[in-house]
């Protein structure tokens, strides 16, 4: 089903001219199981890391991996101004748990408080980022692969019978 939706979509002539003009490799826009699932993995991986310019980090790894770049960039948008506080607090708490630390008390949402406590926040935040960035993006990668395979098998059941 997913594959049919992408395959039916005709490319826009202006988009094709843009791709030809700037010599964008086709594998960065490929719509296949591996490209889409890798794009989701890389996008979620960088989406969970608290850093500025996450989309540029995705673009920086494009020469090393073949994946669907628009999908990866859209997955980075998981961390947006609405979800960031919840995600980073969850990662901070996980980091405290993994390091065996107590969380900070008397938290104030002021720049002065954050600048004074930056050293106590940074290490637990990035340690807590690792499980979410690696494990959750790997799980989603596996789920996308499995769902894609199942949808292809459902489309063409006669080819997969033993």
Residue boundaries of the structural domains of the chain: 2-159
* Residue 157 confidence (pLDDT): 65
State the average pLDDT over residues 64-86: 88
Among the ranges given (11-20, 52-61, 70-79), the one the predictor scored with the smallest mean pLDDT:
11-20
Q: What is the mean pLDDT of the chain?
A: 82
* Residue 113 confidence (pLDDT): 80
Q: Which 8-state DSSP code applies to residue 62?
A: T
Query: For the chain, what is the largest distance between any 2 Cα atoms, rounded to a whole number of angstroms?
Result: 67
Secondary structure class of 14 (helix, strand, coil): helix
Is the separation of the CB atoms in 96 and 104 below 8 Å? no
Distance, CA of 125 to CA of 16 (rounded, Å): 42
Q: What is the pTM of this model?
A: 0.78
* Residue 159 confidence (pLDDT): 58
Distance, CA of 148 to CA of 145 (rounded, Å): 5
Secondary structure class of 138 (helix, strand, coil): helix
Q: How confident is the model at residue 12 (pLDDT cuts 50, 70, 90)?
A: low
């Amino acid at each position: 089903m997913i594959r049919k939706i992408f395959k039916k979509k005709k490319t826009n002539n202006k988009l094709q001219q843009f791709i030809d003009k700037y010599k964008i490799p086709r594998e960065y826009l490929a719509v296949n199981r591996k490209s889409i699932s890798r794009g989701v993995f890389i996008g979620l991986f960088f989406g969970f890391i608290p850093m500025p310019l996450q989309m540029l980090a995705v673009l920086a790894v494009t020469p090393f991996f073949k994946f669907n770049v628009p999908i990866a960039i859209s997955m980075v948008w998981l961390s947006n101004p609405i979800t960031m506080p919840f995600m980073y607090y969850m990662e901070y708490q996980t980091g405290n748990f993994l390091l065996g630390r107590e969380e900070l008390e008397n938290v104030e949402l002021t720049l002065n408080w954050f600048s004074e406590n930056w050293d106590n926040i940074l290490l637990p935040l990035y340690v807590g980022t690792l499980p979410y960035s690696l494990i959750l993006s790997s799980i989603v990668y596996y789920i996308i692969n499995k769902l894609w395979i199942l949808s292809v098998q459902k489309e063409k059941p006669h080819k997969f019978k033993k």
